[in-house]
Amino acid sequence: MNQVDTIVLGAGISGLTAAHYLNKKGLNFLLIEATNRPGGVIHTKNIGNYRIEQGPNSIMLNEDVQALINEIDIADKVLTAPGVEENRYIYFKGKLALAKPGFELLKSRLLTFKSIIAFLKEPFQKPSIQDDESIAEFFIRRLNKEILDNLINPMVSGIYAGDPAKLSLRSTFKKLYSMEKEYGSLIKAAIKKRKEKRFKRILTSFQGGLSTFTQGLADQFTNKTWFGTRVNSVTSKGEGYNVTLTRNNENITLKCRRVISTISASTVAEVFTELDESAISSLKNIYYAPMLLLYLAYNKKDIPFSPDGFGFLIPQKEKMPFLGAIWNSALFPQVAPQNQLLNTVFVGGTNNLDVIDNAEEQAEIAGKSFARVMGAPEIPVFKHYYLKKRAIPQFHVGYYKVQEAIDVFEQYNPGLYISGNWRSGVAIGDCVSYNKKLINNNL
């Protein structure tokens, strides 16, 4: 039996961040990854002259991501989209409407006068006394249904591909939850906080795509990483843990003092057999929304306008066969030939499970619909799609109880840390911040 100090499970952005800070502290560790590459869902692919992202398209920088970029010395590879990224559109009643945050939004055709009144009344609405509620309940209670339907619903689709009537406010929009708890109102909180110095959150990618970031992290500790190795079980053993793995068709058991897991919730339920039964069943029940990513390119001359922003999102009540789209090469021109516009169209989510079994057909329907919105020809110059059957974990109302059960498991098992996007929040920035703090505060 071999001995190692800390074993990190999974080399997505969560596991890579944890390994980076272990490495920086000079601690002894081994990173275990089932596939043959680092990055997890972050996966850039080059197909001919097109660079596509099979997972996230960009990162919204926070201070921890910025620090990580500097620490691995890839700041010279950063790509930003100044002047373009803030233009975000919503497809509304058959046309694209600009949805710039702030006062301009009140003037947009997305909101009627009754919503302006709802904003004025918001500071006087009583805070909730419930432990948790859905995103839909929160916005209807504090503002109104029009704001929920026209602004919040498309935003939730863009981040979670999920349903605001099911998703927990407390576990998804944590800041809004605490703003209401602390200040009694979102507007009062925004006024109080307006003078706080805030990090400028910039939309970022890299030369070579997002995999440049994850590969840059992984390259630092290739000699401490086992790719193509699957963890089967983690059990307590005296003051440490036994980790059983399959590597090159061989079963191995390693003994270690600490385990940091960043694998998915359902895999944790299988691997950590000492979790109690109710926790195992809660983890198995965390639903992951499916997502079909459809990549379409057109000659710019065939599109009757010049896309000047991030892309657009679609409210559910518009009943369109896709959730929204990113105008990739408007943000980062490097990803396609200069005379073309490359787009990623998002299809699926919790309201269109058909993508799981009928990907080809759904891609066809969504592609035609996207072309109509853009005024583009029905046949693109480039088309490709990628289906991720289990893409984004859904934090439904009451999800905080699942988190609490895992907190208790960690307390009873010193040296065991359960991380991953279903613990930290799904944004890459959240994954980085959670794992940096985990290592720096505990080890």
Ligand X SMILES: Cc1cc2nc3c(=O)[nH]c(=O)nc-3n(C[C@H](O)[C@H](O)[C@H](O)COP(=O)(O)OP(=O)(O)OC[C@H]3O[C@@H](n4cnc5c(N)ncnc54)[C@H](O)[C@@H]3O)c2cc1C
Q: Please choose, out of 11-19, 20-28, 169-177, 179-187, the segment that lies near ligand X by the rule CB under 6 A.
A: 11-19
Spatial separation of the C-alpha atoms in residues 414 and 404, rounded to whole Å: 16
Residue number, 58 or 328, with CB nearest to ligand X: 58
Is residue 34 a contact residue for ligand X (CB under 6 A)? yes
Indicate which single residue of 392, 402, 416, 438 sits in contact with ligand X (rule: CB under 6 A): 392
Instruction: Out of 11, 65, 74, 187, point to the residue binding ligand X (CB under 6 A).
Output: 11
Minimum distance of ligand X from residue 182's CB (angstroms) = 25
Residues 6+ apart with CB under 8 A from 329: 297, 335, 336, 340, 341, 342
Near ligand X by CB under 6 A, which window of 40-48, 200-208, 363-371, 395-403? 40-48
Does position 14 bind ligand X by CB under 6 A? yes
| Binding status of residue 210 toward ligand X by CB under 6 A | no
Instruction: Work out which of 7, 9, 292, 439 binds ligand X, going by CB under 6 A.
Output: 9
Q: Using CB under 6 A, which of 8, 52, 55, 331 touches ligand X?
A: 55
Q: Is 208 in the site for ligand X (CB under 6 A)?
A: no
Which lies closer to ligand X via its Cβ, residue 372 or residue 383? 383
Nearer to ligand X, 57 or 211 (CB): 57
Is 230 a binder of ligand X (CB under 6 A)?
Answer: yes
Question: Residue 44's CB: how many other CB atoms inside 10 A?
Answer: 23
Contacts 24+ apart (CB under 8 A), 361-368: 362/292, 362/321, 363/292, 363/294, 365/321, 366/292, 366/294, 366/321, 366/322, 367/294, 367/296
366 binds ligand X (CB under 6 A): no
Residue count, binding to ligand X (CB under 6 A):
35
Q: Which stretch binds ligand X (CB under 6 A): 6-14, 79-87, 361-369, 397-405?
A: 6-14
Given strand 311-313, what is the order of strands in its sheet?
95-98, 88-92, 311-313, 324-326, 340-348, 288-299, 382-393
Q: Rounded to 5 degrees, what are φ and ψ at 263? A: -85, 170
Shortest Å, Cβ 198 to ligand X: 18
- Least distance CB 185 / ligand X (angstroms): 28
Q: Where are the alpha helices (DSSP H) in 25-123?
A: 63-71, 103-107, 113-121
Q: Which one of residues 8, 13, 265, 294 is an interface residue with ligand X (CB under 6 A)?
A: 13
| Selected range binding ligand X among 92-100, 193-201, 386-394, 403-411, rule: CB under 6 A | 386-394
Amino acid identity at 27: L
Binding-site member from 6, 31, 44, 58 for ligand X (CB under 6 A): 58
256 binds ligand X, rule: CB under 6 A: no
345 binds ligand X (CB under 6 A): no
57 contacts ligand X (rule: CB under 6 A): yes
Please identify, among the stretches 82-90, 310-318, 364-372, 419-427, the one whose residues bind ligand X according to the rule CB under 6 A: 419-427
Residue 65 is a binding residue for ligand X (CB under 6 A): no
- Name which of 142 and 423 has its Cβ closer to ligand X: 423
CB 328 within 8 A of CB 344: yes
| Among residues 426, 432, 438, 439, the one that binds ligand X under rule CB under 6 A | 426
Does 307 bind ligand X (CB under 6 A)? Our answer is no
Q: How far is the C-alpha of 432 from the C-alpha of 407, rounded, in Å?
A: 19
Q: Pick the piece of the chain touching ligand X (CB under 6 A) from 32-40, 61-69, 278-286, 403-411.
A: 32-40
120, 177, 190 from 195: Cα distances, Å: 21, 20, 9
Query: In Å, how far are 94, 104, 152, 154, 303 from 99, measured between CA atoms?
Result: 15, 8, 11, 11, 21
Q: Binding of ligand X at residue 349 (CB under 6 A)? A: no
DSSP of 111-160: S-HHHHHHHHHGGGSPPP-SS--BHHHHHHHHS-HHHIIIIIHHHHHHHH
Minimum CB distance to ligand X, residue 38 (Å):
7
Q: How far is the CB of 430 from ligand X (least distance, A)?
A: 8
How many C-beta neighbours within 10 Å does residue 3 have? 10
Q: Give the whole-angstrom CA distance, residue 346 versus residue 188.
A: 35
Give the dihedral of Cα atoms 112, 114, 115, 119; nearest 10 deg: 140
* In the complex, minimum distance from the CB of residue 121 to ligand X, in angstroms, rounded to a whole number: 33
Distances (CA, A) of 209 to 87, 160, 214, 334, 429: 22, 22, 10, 10, 16
End-to-end CA distance of the chain: 24
Cα 362 from Cα 339, distance rounded (Å): 28
What residues make contact with ligand X under the rule CB under 6 A?
9-15, 32-35, 40-42, 55-59, 230-231, 262-263, 267, 291, 293, 388, 391-392, 420-421, 426-428, 431
